[in-house]
Amino acid sequence: MNVLILGSGGREHAFAWKVSQSSLCKKLLVAPGNAGTNELGTNVEIGVNDFESIKKLALEEDIDMLIVGPEDPLVNGIFDFFNGDESLKHITVIGPSKQGAKLEGSKEFAKEFMQRHDIPTAKYQAFTKDNLEEGYAFLESLNAPYVLKADGLAAGKGVLILENLEEAKKQLKAMVADAKFGKASSTVVVEEFLSGIELSVFVLTDGTSYKILPSAKDYKRIGEGDTGLNTGGMGAISPVPFADRFFIEKVETEIIKPTIHGLKEEGIVYHGFIFIGLIVSGNDVKVIEYNVRMGDPETEVVIPRIKSDLLHLFQGIGDGTFSEKDLHIDEDTAATVMLVSGGYPEKYEKRKVIAGLDDVEGSIVFHAGTKQEEDAVLTNGGRVLAVTSFGENIEDALNKSFVNAEKINFEGKYYRKDIGFDLR
């Protein structure tokens, strides 16, 4: 099978690492990829939203399967673009249809979907500039802190959590009336704040049957003890110890089944991953968000724990045999530690030479923001490398990642030394 992966982060390197191990994989291309994916396949300098160039590449290279990493092309309808084109429709696309991608592309759509299917989530209302006064009244009816979410994609920055009512009203106005996040915030979901522990559950589905992948917890803040600015994710752990069989059964009954059933009932085509962000408080589990792709850096711990051939599973999604396939999971714990550029998530420099990659032992290094230039591997983003290790427990897995994190060097390197602190 000839496979094309779209994206350039640690998630896509982890996909490429797994797919390249499959006996079904004949040719692997990654667009645009990074220095890590370049070692496993061929990188092609095409943007993930350049559908015409992706089409041309898919035809030239006789691609059989397209695996879509990030949300943007999914929300922009890449599934429908392939499915609706005579010359491309034989290609299996791993990712939801445009309508399915609205679960991430529109917070209001996701909330309405959950309401229609009785899926537990925070109480909410949606507002635009035309009913701003009602928005103020709704905020007054809630207790602090206040949660404001831009309806559309805002590069992970569209959620504001505010302690003060007046500030919340000011920000609501800035979002809906003054386009604080552009068009993405012309509608804003205001919702009840949920306190508890966050974790994520991942599902792979063909729209009818589904398989529950390992759970994971990521660490989003830049600083130790979960302090400072939000990032794309500084590390992750899988499995999450408290997410035992009983917990997952509860999530399956209350959330996963109604989600898959809801998609099917509404005629929404969905061939891909559903990332369900959860908040757990006592015996209560609620959905805080759906994403229509895998998480990053969660993929860097979830995918290595999958023992089954991922391409074989994906193939089942394409040919209607997905429900017959088995999914085997490694029982060991996986941990990943993200090495980032100095200054990230604010201003940082790129093009720093990365040394020590060959000295790593006992961990898998997934490249996130790197670039190969002649013989050198250079930093090319805020999040640079994810160092993943296995262990009998969290401590054990993390220690291996930390030892190897020390062996890798680039100017400004920073990483959190307390990943998993709340689970240990």
**3-state secondary structure (DSSP) of residue 22:** coil
Residue 151 touches ligand GLY, criterion: CB under 6 A: no
Cα separation, 107 vs 114, in Å, equals 11
Q: Which is nearer to ligand AMP, 65 or 199 (CB)?
A: 199
Q: Segment 182-241, which members bind ligand GLY (CB under 6 A)?
A: 218, 233
In the bound state with ligand AMP, the residue whose beta carbon lies nearer, of 260 and 288, is 288
Provide the minimum distance between the beta carbon of 144 and ligand GLY in the complex, in angstroms, as a whole number: 25
| Span between the terminal Cα atoms of the chain, in Å | 42
| Binding residues among 163-202 for ligand AMP as defined by CB under 6 A | 191, 193-194, 198
Smallest gap from Cβ 160 to ligand AMP, in A, equals 9
Cα–Cα distance measured from residue 334 to residue 328, given in angstroms and rounded to the nearest whole number: 15
**Cα gap 288→281, rounded to integer Å:** 12
Of 233, 163, 242, 144, the C-alpha closest to 201 is 242
C-alpha dist (Å) from residue 249 to 268, 270, 285:
25, 22, 12
* 8 A C-beta contact, residue 10 and residue 368: yes
How many residues are listed for the chain in this entry?
424
Which of 291, 380 has the CB closer to ligand GLY?
A: 291
For residue 395 the two structure tokens come to 């401590």
Tokens 């667009």 belong to residue: 31
- The CB density around residue 23, as the number of other CB atoms within 10 Å, is 9
From the CB of 49, what's the least distance to ligand AMP, in Å?
21
Alpha-carbon torsion angle 114, 118, 120, 123, nearest 10: 70
Amino acid (one-letter) located at 166: E
Least distance to ligand AMP, CB of residue 147, Å = 4
Decide if residue 120 touches ligand AMP (CB under 6 A): no
Residues 252-291 vs ligand GLY: string with x where CB under 6 A? Answer: ---------------------------------------x
By CB under 6 A, is residue 288 in contact with ligand AMP? yes
Please state the closest distance from residue 193 (CB atom) to ligand AMP, in A.
4
> What is the 8-class DSSP label of residue 172?
H
Q: Which of 104, 296, 300, 309 binds ligand GLY (CB under 6 A)?
A: 296
CB of 116 to ligand AMP, least distance (A): 19
277 binds ligand AMP (CB under 6 A): yes
Q: Which does 147 bind (CB under 5 to 8 A by kind): ligand AMP, ligand GLY, none?
A: ligand AMP
Q: Does 381 bind ligand GLY (CB under 6 A)?
A: no
Q: Does the footprint of ligand AMP cover residue 159 (CB under 6 A)? A: yes
What are the DSSP E strand ranges found in 41-163?
42-43, 65-68, 92-96, 124-127, 146-150, 159-162
Three-class SS state of 165: helix
For ligand GLY, the nearest residue by Cβ is 295
- State the nearest-atom distance from the C-beta of 216 to ligand GLY, in Å: 9
Between strands 27-32 and 42-43, the pairing is parallel
Q: How far is the CB of 169 from ligand AMP (least distance, A)?
A: 18
Angstrom distance (rounded) from CA 274 to CA 109? 15
Beta strand ranges found along 235-363 (DSSP E): 235-238, 270-281, 284-291, 333-340
Candidate ranges 59-67, 254-262, 294-302, 327-335; the one touching ligand GLY (CB under 6 A): 294-302
Near ligand AMP by CB under 6 A: residue from 71, 289, 300, 309? 289
Residues β-bridged to residue 94: 67
Phi, psi of 68 (to 5 degrees): -100, 115
* 122 touches, from ligand GLY, ligand AMP, none (C-beta below 5 to 8 Å by class): ligand AMP
Please, what is the minimum distance in Å from the beta carbon of residue 188 to ligand AMP?
12
By CB under 6 A, tell whether 7 contacts ligand GLY. no
| Contact set with ligand AMP (CB under 6 A) | 122, 147, 149, 159, 191, 193-194, 198, 277, 288-289
| Contact set with ligand GLY (CB under 6 A) | 218, 233, 291, 295-296, 298
